[in-house]
Amino acid sequence: MRDDLGDDVALPGPVSRVVSLVPSLTEAVAETVPGVLVGATDYCTHPASLDVARVGGSKYPKLDAVFDCAPDLVLANVEENRPEDVARLREAGIAVWVTAAPATVPMALESLRAVFTRAFDVAVPEWLTEAERAWRDPVAVRVTAVVPVWRKPWVVLGRDTFGGDVLRRLGVHNVFAEHADRYPRPKIEELRARFADGQADLLVLPDEPYVFTDDDGPDHFPGVPYALMSGRRLTWYGPSLASARDELTAALADVRTP
């Protein structure tokens, strides 16, 4: 078998002990193949009842803690995990399945389909089918937005991001969608100018990875309409996608002005 990057993944047999280094994959596996997870990162917050060994962060996992879990499969992501950590795990004889950084909702769901039907040898989960149905049809553009995901420094969604495609399907055009970088780092003056010159008319503020709130984020953009939304619903691809569309649509309708 080969993962999203085309690397061979030699599994010793049926997968029964899994360490996930990706929060969204942790939730997806826990929902779809209960009981196989034995380790996850400190940031794997869903499901809330998950009771497994914690192996540190995604970028800097404690590899000794991963080894202690004796996994027959580790799940990683090309954007969230360092290649040197993947290489060390593989050198130790552990199978590692690396998922790509999906640029669209269909790409993300196809990646998950491959994980479950090939690595786990299980049927396509119902939540995945529901998510495909829920996100199949984009709506016409209704608003143009700037979408920060971090502050100090400011980082925004750029080209070819999963979150950007989610918003596009909800009728939100990302003003940085054609930027050369996937996660540009513009100065605050440039961001404000996008609103001043009419290029953007909405500030979209998720609560993950940076926790933007009514009191932290909008204050840097006086007079600019903004919408707060769940970062998990916007950027995680897994079971939450099946119901995310309604929640995100409601968040976009709740426009506020600082």
CA angle, corner 196, sides to 192 and 202, nearest 5? 70
Q: What is the DSSP letter of 223?
A: T
Domain that holds residue 236: 134-253
Model confidence pLDDT, tens digit, residues 145-204? 999 999 999 999 999 999 999 999 999 999 999 999 999 999 999 999 999 999 999 999
- If asked whether residues 141 and 239 sit together in one domain, one would say yes
Residue 69, in any domain of the structure:
yes
pLDDT 10s digits, 52-79: 999 999 999 999 999 999 999 999 999 9
Is residue 8 one of the residues assigned to a domain?
A: no
pTM as predicted: 0.93
pLDDT tens for residues 98-156? 999 999 999 999 999 999 999 999 999 999 999 999 999 999 999 999 999 999 999 99
CATH number for the domain that contains residue 23: 3.40.50.1980
Peptide linkage before 47 cis (omega within 30 of 0): yes
